[in-house]
Structure 1
Amino acid sequence: MTSVRDRIREMEAPRTVGTADGWSAAELGAPSYWAAMMDFDGWLALQSDPDSPLGRIFGGAGMAEERIRLLEEAGPDSPSDVALVFASKTVGILGHVADEGGVASHADAEILRWIADQANELRLTGQARIDYLRDQGAEALRTIYRDLEVVDYRAGERPSKRDYMARWYRGVDIDRDHATLLSVAHAQLELARTLERSRLQDREILIDFVARMLTAAPSEA
């Protein structure tokens, strides 16, 4: 069987071809393929470098641990990140604006997303953005909901996530949902650790194999 290296050595010089629209394209030649090939030392360095693309792929344990840490810090009794709430006294919550200026809306208040797009075009950020969303959102929604209520949480004590959900989403079990997220995060951590152990084991097997092959190879006279 012809090896990859032998096939590269036998390659002809790359050709350059023209296209119908006036562009030109060059084939990949032997130098490009040689440059793409990696020797054992390069492979070992790639496997050992945590900042390499491969290291980042298999280094998911650190990211999973960070995810768990953030979830534990942001439990049901932690402060909510909601700055504004738009609600109808008869329909209930229509949408909200988060501290960073992001908008979430229900089907009957999609206009809030359009207003958020307008704020993006105006390059509004921070409190100016939230004020814009409050004023424009209230004006637009009052044409549909005469009983519109705008709750601005910036003016007083910020409710916890538990209190926020209890007021606006009474059917949601926040403890159960948070426990589910933690369970999924722990499962992802265990999977990441398993993949990393497997990769390290495969690396050690290959290193041992190459070392034995080098030891067994006859030395050149």
Structure 2
Amino acid sequence: MAFEDTLRQFLTELERLDDTHAGMRDSDVQEYVWETLAYYLIHMQDTPQRPTMYGLTTREADEALAAAVNRFITNARRDPALRNLAPDARLERLQDASVETESGSVYSDFLGHHSVPGPVIEMVEARFQDSPYYREGAAAAPAQAKKVRVNPVVMAVSLGITLLIGIGILVMIYYKMSGDTKGSGAGTGPRTHHSTGNTSPA
């Protein structure tokens, strides 16, 4: 089977898994898949066994994804033309945007894009063990707090507007108090008594 057909078959499997298992497009899951492809396919490294943990929320989902990834790696490595390429050329073949599924999905839809193969990164032991997400029999991974990125420009503008509003309120309070003071002081001067009776000279 030509590499392009093998890749298309792999992408079709990822589509199917995406429809049946939550989290397939999570950044952690994508990074685990890329890490595996880079090690075993881009750099053509080997280990006695391949990773089984991909960060999905159930063992069933991880096993299904691991099977799809391993099947793709095994079939792709049978292509002698691919084996004779340099790592950067293998990466280019892997990310070939002209290879689409029947639904129109391409490699980058599931795994993003990498400009360079990067160095060989050894597989860590945790990749061959049960995921902490389901080790205790949990049905789903604990919710992870998302980091909120604040744009410094937006923050500065917001603080500036808040400061101006605060100054405006203080100015209004000052003028109001000044007006009240003047109004209350208008009637405090000495009063002139006007007699309405007739006076006769002594």
Q: TM-score range by the shorter chain?
A: under 0.3
Q: Which has the higher strand share?
A: 1
**Larger radius of gyration between Structure 1 and Structure 2:** 2
Instruction: State TM-score, norm by structure 2.
Output: 0.25
Instruction: State TM-score, norm by structure 1.
Output: 0.23
| Larger RCO of the pair (alpha carbons < 8 Å, separation 6+) | 2
